[in-house]
């Protein structure tokens, strides 16, 4: 439902529209928790207690379009 609304509005939400490659976003997500933990002044969020796994990333990014 949300993606339908973004499509109807013409919102450029696919990573390709920002010049992002799938490997770049995947690597960023895999390293996000370590980055957050290395910055003690950041607010505590769900990232502090969550492990982002490749399986979740693959499912989450499956329908998105990326830069080649």
Question: Residue 19: what pLDDT?
Answer: 97
Question: Residue 15: what pLDDT?
Answer: 97
In this predicted model, what pLDDT tens digit does every residue of 15-55 receive, in sequence order?
A: 999 999 999 999 999 999 999 999 999 999 999 999 999 99
Which tokens belong to 28? Answer: 């960023």
- 3-class SS at 47? helix
Question: Residue 63: what pLDDT?
Answer: 93
Q: Taking a C-beta distance cutoff of 8 angstroms, is the pair 36, 46 a contact?
A: no
> What confidence category does residue 8 fall into, taking pLDDT thresholds of 50, 70 and 90?
very high
Question: Residue 17: what pLDDT?
Answer: 95
Q: What share of the chain is helix, strand, coil (3-state, %, to 5)?
A: 60, 0, 40
Q: Domain coordinates of the chain in residue numbers?
A: 2-61
């Amino acid at each position: 439902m949300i993606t339908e609304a973004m499509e109807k509005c013409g919102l450029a939400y696919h990573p390709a529209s920002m010049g992002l490659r799938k490997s770049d976003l995947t690597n960023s997500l895999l390293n996000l928790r370590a980055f957050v933990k290395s910055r003690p002044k950041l607010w505590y969020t769900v990232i502090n207690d969550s492990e982002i796994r490749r399986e979740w990333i693959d499912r989450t990014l499956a329908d998105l379009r990326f830069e080649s």
